[in-house]
Structure 1
Amino acid sequence: MSKPQGMGRRREVRGLTLRTLIPNAITAAAMCLGLTAIRAAIMQDWDAAVLLVFAAGILDGLDGRTARFLNAQSKFGAELDSLADSLSFGVAPALIIYLWSLQFLPRIGWFAALAVAVACALRLARFNAQIDTDEQPHKSAGFLTGVPAPVGAGVAFLPMYLWLETDNPVLREPVFVAIWLVVIAFLMISNTATLSWTSLRPRRSIRLELLLLTGLVVAALILEPWIALSVISIGYLATVPYSILRYRRIRRQRAEAAATKDAPEHPA
C-alpha cells in the first residue's frame, strides 16, 4: 500500500520568529507612546506629554540596537522605525507645543508647528535615501548631518522644560516659541555637521568619572527632570559650533593629505 503523496516528507513551517518580532514590537511601542503623548496634551497634562515623548526616544534608541544584537535587521523594520520617528518626534512635538502655546498665535503658530513636523519627515526621508549610498560625508568623518529627529524633538521642548520648572509666562509666549521651533526645524534638515555619540571614544583613564557622571545624570532626570533636560538640551546646542569647527578641520586635513598623495614626485 503506497503512502499518500507528500507523506514522509518533512513539512516546512514558515513564519515569523520571536527574534524578528522583538525589535519591531519596541518600535510599535514607541509609536504608541507618541500617540499617547498627543492625548495627554489634549487633556493639558503637559508633564505626561513631554515625558511620554522622552520615553519614546529611549525606546527608539533600543530598537535598532536590539535588532543588531539579535541579527534581526529588516527593510520592514527600517521603514517602521522611520514612520514611528516621524510620528513620535515630528507630529507629536508639533501638536503638543501647538496646544501648549502656538494656538494663541493664529495661523502663524500653526505654520511653526508644521515646520517641525515636516522637517522631521524630510530628514528621515533624506536619511533613508542615503543609507545605502556613499553620500554621507559627515558620517565618514564621525559626524551626523543635521540634528537627529529624537534630539530635535527634545531640544524643541526646551521652552516647555523651563516653563514647567519656573512657570514663567514669557517662556510660553507664542512668538518666541514659534521662532524657536523654526530654528530647530532648520537645524534638523540642515547640512550642519553635528556630534555623533557613537563615534566618541573617551580615554580609558576617565571611565570611572564617566560612570559617575552617567549616574548623576540619571539621578537628576529622576529628581529634577525639567532642570536636567534643560541643561542637556543647552549642552547639546553648545556642541554644534564645536562640531562644525572640528568637521572643517578634519575635512581640511583630509584634503591636504589627498593633495600630498596625488602630488607628482620630483626627481632628486
Structure 2
Amino acid sequence: ESELGAQLDSLSDFLSFGIAPGLLLYMTIFNQNSSLGAFAALAFIVFSCLRLALYNVKQEEAKIPDDKPYFFTGIPTPMGALLILLPLTHTFLGYDWAYNHLNFIAGYTILISGLLVSQIPTFSVKRGRPQVKSRILFLILFSLIVLSLINFLWVTLNLIAAAYILSIPFSIWAWRGRER
C-alpha cells in the first residue's frame, strides 16, 4: 500500500463514516432545529477526522511491529458511525422514541464521539483474525450473519452494535492480560 493510497483510504473513511453519518443524524433525527444536536453531529464529524488522523500517525510511527496487534485504541470510525445511527435504525423498526429525546441522543452522540479518540482498547478483527477451529463452523456463522443482514437488516445491525458495546469490557480485560 502506497502512502497516497493510505491517505486516500482515510479520506474516504472520513467522508463515508464521519461526515455522512453526522449529517444524516442531524438532518433526520435533529430535523435541523436543535443547537445541541448540531453540536453533537459536528463533534462526531470532527472527532472522526481526529481519530483517522491519529490512526494515520500511529501507523506511520508503527514501522516497528505492534506489541498489541489485536487491539485498536478507541472505537474504529465505521463502528462509531453504526453506533450513532442506532437511533435512526430504531425509527426504521417503528420505534420513534428518538424524536422525543433529542438531548439524550445528543449526549449519546457526544459520548460515542469521545470513544472514537479515547485510550480504551477495543478488539480489532482487522489486525487479528479470530481463531475458528472448524471451517464448517466459520462458514455456518458467516452464512447466518449474511442471511440475517439480508433478511433482518436493522435488527441485525442493532445486535451487532450491542455485541460490540458488550465486548468493550472484555477487550479491556484481554488487553490488560496481554500487558502482564
TM-score between both structures, scaled by the size of structure 2: 0.91
Q: 1:202 aligns with which of 114, 119, 131?
A: 131
Which secondary structure state, in structure 2, belongs to the residue aligned with residue 131 of structure 1? helix
Match of 2:84 in 1: 156
RMSD: 1.9
Alignment of 1:70-219 (within 5 A): 73-103=1-31, 106-134=34-62, 139-141=66-68, 142-165=70-93, 167-172=94-99, 173-197=101-125, 198-204=127-133, 206-219=134-147
Q: Give the secondary structure class of the aligned counterpart of 1:194.
A: strand
5+ residue gaps, structure 2, are: none
Residue 226 of structure 1 corresponds to 154
How much does 1:134 deviate?
3.9
Q: Any conservation in 2 of the 1:90–1:121 contact (CA below 8 Å)?
A: yes
Q: How far, CA to CA, are the matches of 1:130 and 1:104 in structure 2?
A: 36
CA distance in 1, matches of 2:34, 2:130: 47
- How many corresponding residue pairs? 177
C-alpha displacement at 1:96, in angstroms?
0.2
CA–CA distance in structure 1, aligned partners of residues 102 and 55 of structure 2: 31
- Write the distance in 1 (CA, Å) between the matches of 2:87 and 2:96: 10
Structure 1 gaps, min length 5: 1-72, 254-268
Matches of 1:188 and 1:136 in 2, distance apart?
24
Residue 153 (structure 1) shift: 0.7
Q: Partner letter of residue 18 of structure 2?
A: G
One-letter amino acid matched to 1:124? L
| 223 and 127 in structure 1: CA distance in 2 versus 1, 3 angstrom threshold | same
Partners of 2:86 and 2:135 in 1: how far apart? 30
Q: Does the 8 A contact of 1:130 with 1:136 survive in 2? A: no
Does the 8 Å CA contact 1:105/1:174 hold for their aligned counterparts?
no
> How far apart are 1:135 and its partner, in Å?
9.5
Structure possessing the higher radius of gyration over alpha carbons: 1
Quick check: 2:29–2:98 contact (8 Å CA) kept in 1? no
